[in-house]
Structure 1
């Protein structure tokens, strides 16, 4: 199925909660202050697009393609990223709220999450090699059978990772965040 091609456009303050975003290939488009909350953007394709200050909470992203996409200052509560098209998946998030997002089973090697709140997000069975969690809040995030090799948690906050249940060779942590690794062992750590 060939999708319509939409290129080099800016969409500002559009409400896609009841009216669906056109199913298309979006190339080099910008979405500013748009509301996709509980909307349906399934089967759409975004290449080199930017989402700024958008609400994508609980949006249906099934078979959606995000390639070279940036999300800035977006609210993305409960988004099931694991349902997206994984072919050529590449995106970054800066200053986004990704609470309850589902990344389980995905290959996110080299992705960057910066200044994001990711409480209760699920990374079960995901490949997170070389992922950077710069100044991210990871309270109650789930890391089970996750490949965290060479990932960077040096400035991450409130994570709890069981080293016995995850691959962690070369992962980076600061001495201030080690309690997130050792809490599973019920050690008494003094400052």
Structure 2
């Protein structure tokens, strides 16, 4: 079976809910305002691609390669990132809604997550060493046996990280954010 190849192509306002994006290799492609919810992006290869303003809610990304891929202002609710291909994995996120997504057990060191929403997102057993989370919202996100060494949470909000079950050595937090490290003790800070 021949695999299709697309390079330097822009896909704008395409609806892939009824007819899936053709299987193949996409290099340096730009997806703008495309709809993929409840759809299938499985077994695809994306290299140096950008998804901007796309809806990927509950999209199947099993065995998909994301190498140097940026998601900008995308709705990515419920994505199961641990099912994608981990080889050559390199992702960046800006202004995305990643609520109820799962990064369970993933190796994502030095990943940039800027201005993202992570409500009820699972980061358990993930390696997020040296990752950056400027202006991110972690309401009810799960951190359990997560490597957060040298990660930057200085402008993040609503996180609940237990230092006794997560690796937080040299992670950065603001003074206001310290309460997120003490929630399990049910203390009142005024």
- TM-score if structure 2 supplies the norm length? 0.98
Aligned partner of 1:177 in structure 2 is 177
- Following superposition, the deviation at residue 100 of structure 1 comes to 0.4
Partners in 2 of 1:95 and 1:146 — Cα distance? 23
| Deviation string, structure 1 residues 41-71 (Cα, Å, up to 9, x no partner) | 1000000000010000000000011111111
Partners in 2 of 1:181 and 1:108 — Cα distance? 22
> How many aligned positions are there?
190
Counterpart secondary structure, 1:76: coil
Counterpart secondary structure, 1:179: helix
Partners in 2 of 1:17 and 1:102 — Cα distance? 22
Distance 1:2 1:162, change over 3 A: farther
Aligned partner of 2:156 in structure 1 is 156
Q: Which consecutive residues of structure 1, in runs of 5 or more, have no partner in the other structure? A: none
Counterpart secondary structure, 1:177: helix
1:82 correspondence with 2:102: no
Counterpart secondary structure, 1:165: coil
Partners in 1 of 2:183 and 2:100 — Cα distance? 22
Runs of 4+ residues over 2 Å off in structure 1: none
- TM-score if structure 1 supplies the norm length? 0.97
Alignment of 1:1-191 (within 5 A): 3-190=3-190
Partners in 1 of 2:147 and 2:8 — Cα distance? 37
